[in-house]
Amino acid sequence: MDRIRIVGGNELHGVIPISGAKNAALPLMIASLLTDDTLTLENVPHLADVEQLIRILGNHGADISVNGRRERQSESYARTIHFTSRNIVDTTAPYELVSKMRASFWVIGPLLAREGKARVSLPGGCAIGTRPVDLFIEGLTALGANIEIDGGYVNATAPQGGLIGARYQFPKVSVGATHVLMMAATLANGTTMLGNAAREPEVADLAKCLNAMGAKITGQGTSTITIEGVHSLSGARHRVLPDRIETGTYAMAVAMAGGDVILEDTDAALLDTALEAIRRAGAEISQTNSGIRVVRNGAGIKPVDIVTDPFPGFPTDLQAQFMGLMTKSEGTSHITETIFENRFMHVQELARLGAKISLSGQTAKIEGVSRLKGAPVMATDLRASVSLVIAGLAAEGETMVSRVYHLDRGFERLEEKLTRCGAHVERVSD
């Protein structure tokens, strides 16, 4: 099993290209099930989660090629992938596929809208909280679906004539449920209005793609999204937006290790709140023609308190990384997690490096230390794993991160990108 070895102490200098957003690519890929034409997606990252979803879509009958070649023949990055779901051959998403990645549950929306039925296993994914599917079921039921849960599967059928437009108010903000209901509503009869909808850039990116396919969606990027149902959708070509979580992660890595790095092909507007927190911690951040420049030379890391919130608040997917940064701050900081109830599993691993962190409910108190010391640590989930890398960049000696398959789910070529900027990071195979 692979591990990541980090020898800390090197500043970062150079350019890091930012990949396409995993959290945008996955729903965009699933949207290909809504049409029998070809959906072409550019800037798709090469990640384990993307490969898993390719297998799931293939199980439903999608024909998938990379730049005109079969998927398995390509080893390229920032890929252009063509998805053609001319015939849906199976409306069941089995447990052995869905259990490996939570987002694969989202196929329930397009399958139900296009085929009138779907049988989808209850999902799996990172162990960072329960993340129930109640909102998905309530929302699809509001569109007229009949849903039963039996034997670990969600069995859904649409009324004769298809789903029906409706008003649905999310009791709490859910990015996944917003994706699913927006996709399902594109082919519903009548108009759907989603209240308290997620405002994340990835939701707006999906709406942009769906509109290019012939959907009629307005209000994306706000808390009220309106979808006027259409009879069918066509193919389209769409470029996946930059990964704001990867952008924030590398910005924090520079703030932690020190140095001067250009984060290329990204946009500060995608993560204003997170970048402002990094500025307050002592880094200089500016937008350039090619991306974002992050600089920290000489100044210490200042303590900053944050609270995770839905967009435009501080992203929960950057919480662990920011905690890694705060372990070396010159003072005490507090991080409150409001999205997932079990997203502090990285605390014990950071403590192995010498971090001083205490927990009280959903708030972590981090007392900055002057020295971190490398140690063997274990990744517990996707974002927690990269927080250990960030801490390792500033730790004395060697940090060895095991269970890095979590990293491969969401970070494309992480060790290569950091190494090119002067970090001592390498992948070690047992």
Q: Provide the annotated active-site residues.
A: 126
Q: Is 347 annotated as a binding residue?
A: no
Q: Is 199 annotated as a binding residue?
A: no
User: How far is the C-alpha of 85 from the C-alpha of 234, rounded, in Å?
Assistant: 11
Q: Is 353 annotated as a binding residue?
A: no
DSSP H helical segments within 122-240, as ranges?
134-142, 175-185, 201-212
300 and 227 Cβ atoms separated by less than 8 Å: no
Q: Is 307 annotated as a binding residue?
A: no
User: How far is the C-alpha of 98 from the C-alpha of 250, rounded, in Å?
Assistant: 30
Q: Is 294 annotated as a binding residue?
A: no
Q: Which helix (H) or strand (E) holds 41?
A: strand 38-44
- Could you give phi then psi for residue 163, rounded to 5 degrees? -65, 160
Q: Is 225 annotated as a binding residue?
A: no
Q: Is 381 annotated as a binding residue?
A: no
51 and 75 Cβ atoms separated by less than 8 Å: no
Q: And the tokens for 32?
A: 């290909």
Nearest CA to 107 among 25, 199, 34? Answer: 34
Q: Is 94 annotated as a binding residue?
A: no
Give residue 107's identity as a one-letter amino acid code.
V
Nearest CA to 254 among 410, 7, 423, 396? Answer: 423
C-alpha Rg value of the chain to the nearest Å: 22
**First-to-last CA distance in the chain?**
6
Q: Is 23 annotated as a binding residue?
A: yes
Q: Is 100 annotated as a binding residue?
A: no
Q: Is 366 annotated as a binding residue?
A: no
Q: Is 174 annotated as a binding residue?
A: yes
Q: Is 79 annotated as a binding residue?
A: no
Q: Is 132 annotated as a binding residue?
A: yes
Number of residues that this document lists for the chain: 430
Residue 347: alpha-carbon gap to chain centroid:
21
Known binding site: residues? 22-23, 102, 131-135, 172-175, 317, 339
**Binding site residue list for phosphoenolpyruvate:** 22-23
Binding residues for UDP-N-acetyl-alpha-D-glucosamine: 102, 131-135, 172-175, 317, 339
